[in-house]
Amino acid sequence: MLTSSIIVFLLFSKASGGAKLILRRCTMHNYHKIVSPWKRTDPKSKTVNTEVFSDEYIEMLKDIQWIGTEKIDGENLNFYYDGNHVSYCGHTERSDFTGEKKAWLDALITPEFESIFEQVFGEKEAFVHGELLGPKIQSNLYGVSDFKFYAFDIYNKTDNVFWKQEVVDIYARQFGFERAPFVATGTLDEIAAIVKSAPASKLNPKMEMEGIVIRPFRELKNAKNERIIYKVKVADLLGRNARKL
């Protein structure tokens, strides 16, 4: 589903030597929900039943090699490129981008920043999906001192395709973003074993990892044209949230 909102930018033009007011429409690409590979069959249980799969696809693909990135607990943020300019949107129109957060985001979108998007995407529309971390976001679980954006997906809207993770890694860094860390490869059982051990977060070694988002090395879709992608969470396997170490 695509919705739009208007964002106002005050940009300084080197050519004119002054500021100019620009209205930009940010089209929000609602990032799909990521579910657990397993179902919760006992309403009283705090954990999922790892013997019951959430759909037929994970059951068929459980033994392939999956690639896993750390599940980051921040604020959902999307950078949108319309073929000419870059803007940003949250998960919904109610997303709060004000104060220091808005100032930090606005400062990112310079002519130089937009030229990188133009070099990468040309005239095609695209989104860079990720999580924003900062001093006042989600209790700042990772202890960051300034705002940071961690990209985890790039969606080419014109071609209707998500880019492979190794490509996301290359271009996220080219845009100047952080990257959701790669943390594991393996079968579903192997990745579940890692999550059950409650490893330290790559973003903050004093905090347990919340979980791992897994997907095939090559993008796959099911019969409903939905992406094959799942989240394996500490909370679902251990019955508790990630803790400080």
Query: How confident is the model at residue 97, as a pLDDT?
Result: 82
Query: How confident is the model at residue 96, as a pLDDT?
Result: 73
Polymer length of the chain? 245
Of 31, 33, 23, the residue nearest 92 (C-alpha)? 31
3-state secondary structure of 108: helix
How do residues 233-243 score in pLDDT, each as one tens digit? 999 999 999 99
Of 239, 231, 242, the residue nearest 69 (C-alpha)? 231
Instruction: With 0.95 as the threshold, say if the pTM is over it.
Output: no
Which residues of the chain fall below pLDDT 50?
1-23
Number of compact structural domains in the chain: 2
Unique residue bearing structure tokens 């209790």: 139
Read off φ and ψ for residue 19, nearest 5 degrees: -100, 150
How do residues 123-137 score in pLDDT, each as one tens digit? 999 999 999 999 989
Q: Are residues 93 and 195 in the same domain?
A: no
- Domain assignment present for 244: no
Query: How confident is the model at residue 136, as a pLDDT?
Result: 85
189 secondary structure, DSSP code: H
Q: Are residues 78 and 170 in the same domain?
A: yes
Query: How confident is the model at residue 27, as a pLDDT?
Result: 64
CA 231 – CA 69 distance, rounded (Å) = 10
In the chain, helix, strand, coil percent, each to 5?
A: 20, 35, 40
Q: Are residues 57 and 130 in the same domain?
A: no
Range of the domain at 62: 38-71+182-238
Token readout for 227 is: 């992406």
Contact 23/15 with Cβ under 8 angstroms? Answer: no
